[in-house]
Amino acid sequence: MKCSMTTALLALLACLTVVSPATQVVAQAKDRPNIIFLFTDDQNDLSVGCYGNDQVQTPNMDKLGAEGIIFTNHYNTTAICMASRATVMTGQYEYRVGCNFSHGPMYASSWARSYPMLLRKAGYFTGFAGKFGFNIVDKPGAKGAGRGGGGTLAHEKGEAYFDVWAGGQGQTSYETDGKNNHQRIKQYADRYPHVTRAYGAFAGDFFKQAKASGKPFCLSISFKSPHLPFTPDPAFDHVYANKTYRKPANYGVKHAAHLAPQSRTGRQYKSYRFWVDDYQKSIRGYNQLIHGVDVALGMIRKALAEQGLSDNTVIIFTSDNGYSCGAHGFGGKVLPYEEASRSPLIIYDPRQPASQRGQRRDAVTGNIDMAPTIFDLAGLDVPQHMDGKSLLPLIREPKRWPRESIALMNMWGNAGIHTFAVVTRDWKYIYWPYTNDQMQPTEELFHVANDRMESKNLSTVAAHADDLKRMRAVYDEHHTHMRHYVTKFNKYTLFVPLFDRQRKK
């Protein structure tokens, strides 16, 4: 009985799916949206108007948010360029994809399962411009692993991996005709000598090529802005001229005394003194670089409209990590604190009904979710090997969204700042394992929903003992996941016992 029912069901499915190959191709091309993934470098979520900053001008980001979905608790699970980029491409935590400075490059086996590669395989016309940020080698120890794993993908590889490759070398250059930029970007140097708007112009030309291909497209642009050096486009000098910025409530070293001593052992605390010496100049440069990206975003949307592509093109806007900007006396990123790990995330899908646009979602999301979301948008099943989730269900039915926590981690730099943490919409728990004569393993518990400035460590407050217990359990779940899925390459297995908070010392 069971067998005959299965046979009948298969026959029915076969009838339903009988369409001519030509019809199928047309249907797929019509149904599948184009996807633009816009990625800034070192942009924290506090830097955007629609995230509550009334001191900046980001009208195009605000408009994108007003017409799309603003994710208000978006974290980069590793807050550093190379690892975050590898995570975005593969949907995997750093300990699983195994790629970061001082650890190593990405292996071809992982890259083959990244969103650019699998979307191209599924018939998308793909493009990449800007900072790629990691190298890809055939196997562990292969040439190209180099110091820190290498941050540069060779041009010939880029040309092989994408239909249109305009990736740069290393950190790329702010000067459009700078030596680290691709020739396809340099061609805009006369009109846009600062590179940010050159990416906008590049996108416009890419849309024409993509349209001619007859395929849906996936374009990824990785802006250099607002990464150091703070040399913004002088065309926007007038935007913040003579402006004096209010400092955040947790600005400066006087707001670091309550933090784990481990957090103050790295270069984030000792370097980047310009945030102390000249906050106004630093934040003005930072904000002006972001304003330039805002203008490029406007160029990209205008070019989409001119090509008649606006109605079927999804835009995802986010960054690879946040930036401390002097909070608690920190500069740089890397640490699991709010400023360094949080970035804006806006997803604009013109096909969605008005009831699902212009809204906010406060569930915690992460860079691990970018590839799964892109897969889902392209109509592909989200592969099992990804740690993240598609955010489309969170957009459509937020009340049924099941995931409550994600992990944050740092396995780069000096041993003192190696850390593993978990965050929910309301709470963050951080474990700092490093010990020496002056410090023991340290726990931190912040009620981030009420204490965005992380001004009170509640881990030793008796009234929050239950909260601590609950977040420790969340931590242990994520640590178990790490133990299960950690890559055996690039020395990541050493971090499993280190981050085991119940380990016998």
Residues found near Ca ion in the complex (CB under 5 A): 41-42, 81, 320-321
Question: Please, are residues 158 and 167 in contact by the beta-carbon 8 Å criterion?
Answer: yes
Q: Using CB atoms within 10 A of its CB, is residue 139 exposed (0-12), middle (13-18) or buried (19+)?
A: exposed
Cβ proximity to Ca ion: between 42 and 339 the closer is 42
Helices (H), 316-464: 338-341, 370-377, 392-396
CB 148 within 8 A of CB 102: yes
Cis peptide bond prior to 105, omega within 30° of 0: no
CB of 303 to Ca ion, least distance (A): 26
Residue nearer to Ca ion on the CB measure, 151 or 433: 151
User: How far is it, in rounded angstroms, from Cα 368 to Cα 92?
Assistant: 6
Please, are residues 447 and 426 in contact by the beta-carbon 8 Å criterion? Answer: yes
Tokens encoding 233: 């486009």
Q: CB-wise, 41 or 45, nearer to Ca ion? A: 41
- Cβ of residue 254: shortest distance to Ca ion, in angstroms? 27
- CB nearer to Ca ion: pick between 100 and 321: 321
Return the ∠ at Cα 421 (arms to 418 and 427), rounded to 5°. Answer: 150
Cβ 41 to Ca ion, closest distance in Å?
Answer: 4
Map tokens 């994710």 to a residue.
71
Residue pointed to by tokens 């001004």: 455
Residue whose CB is less far from Ca ion, 37 or 217: 37
DSSP-derived secondary structure for 3-72: HHHHHHHHHHHHHHT---HHHHHHHHHHHSPEEEEEEESS--GGGSGGGT-TTS--HHHHHHHHHSEEES
- Token pair of 246, please? 């209010």
Shortest approach of Ca ion to residue 368 CB, angstroms? Answer: 16
Cβ at position 337, least distance to Ca ion in Å: 15
Q: Which residue is nearest to Ca ion (CB)?
A: 81
Output the CA torsion 126→129→134→140 (10° steps).
Answer: 30
Alpha-carbon torsion (228, 229, 232, 238), positive or negative: positive
- Is it true that the peptide bond before 229 is cis, omega within 30 degrees of 0? yes
Task: Please identify, using beta-carbon distances, which residue of 231 and 352 lies nearer to Ca ion.
Answer: 231
Nearer to Ca ion, 230 or 446 (CB): 230
What is the closest distance, in whole angstroms, from the C-beta atom of residue 228 to Ca ion in the complex? 10
Q: How far is the CB of 320 from Ca ion (least distance, A)?
A: 4
CB-nearer residue toward Ca ion: 81 or 406: 81
Helices and strands, counts by H and E, the chain: 18, 16
CB of 340 to Ca ion, least distance (A): 10
Smallest separation, CB 353 to Ca ion (Å): 35
Q: Closest Cα partner for 224 from 204, 198, 195, 202? A: 195
Cβ closest to Ca ion, residue 41 vs residue 349: 41
Q: Quick one: 85 or 478, whose CB is closer to Ca ion?
A: 85
Q: Shortest distance, CB of residue 492 to Ca ion, whole angstroms?
A: 20
The bridge status of strand 313-319 relative to strand 34-40 is parallel
Q: Which two tokens stand for residue 418?
A: 């190696």
Please give the helix or strand (H or E) that residue 35 lies within, else none. Answer: strand 34-40
